[in-house]
Amino acid sequence: MQRGPVSGERSLVERFRSAFRGMRRAVASEKNFRIHFLVAGAVLVAAAVLGAEPWQWAVLSLSIATVLVAEIFNTAIERLAKAVTDQHNEHVRDALDIASAAVLAAALMSSVVGALILGWRLGIFLGLWPN
């Protein structure tokens, strides 16, 4: 297998090009990433409609980023596992399960954060409690 130059020999532009290629591959090849991306868009629209405050935007954005980054790492680990072996291996299986658990934990906690912030904003929007 032919390899390109090590990262120290590549220009900054080439490194960014590789990073954006990785992002495109994650979006194009992973259904779960697209689902997370769609949900993130819905959360951002809801935050805009409900008039989220700057600190709430920051917390929601960090929560969304955490889920997307976890999904990207999970995808990278899945790809690496496929490259290493196509045979059943308990260690590879465990690594894949643990990486998936990281995505699940990030998604669950982000859901709690989103529900608290957007629920509070919805209550204000509906006049259930004061701003």
Give the tens place of pLDDT for each residue, 99-131. 999 999 999 999 999 999 999 999 999 999 888
Catalytically annotated residues: 71
Cα 83 to Cα 77: distance, rounded to the nearest angstrom: 10
* Residue 131 maps to a domain: no
C-alpha–C-alpha distance, residues 115 and 106, integer Å: 14
The DSSP line for 55-93 is HHHHHHHHHHHHHHHHHHHHHHHHHHHHHH-SS--HHHH
Is residue 21, in this structure, part of any structural domain at all? Answer: yes
* Structural domain boundaries enclosing 54: 7-125
39: in domain: yes
CATH code, domain carrying 102:
1.10.287.3610
Tokens of 116: 């608290």
User: Is 78 part of a structural domain of the chain?
Assistant: yes
Q: What is the pLDDT of residues 56-78, one digit of tens each?
A: 999 999 999 999 999 999 999 99
- Name the pTM for this structure: 0.86
pLDDT of residue 6: 57
Which pLDDT does position 30 carry in this prediction? Answer: 86
Read off the tokens for 96: 């894949």
Please give the tally of structural domains in the chain.
Answer: 1
* Cβ-proximal residues to 128 (8 Å cutoff; 6+ apart), any chain: none
Contact 126, 119 (CB under 8 A): no
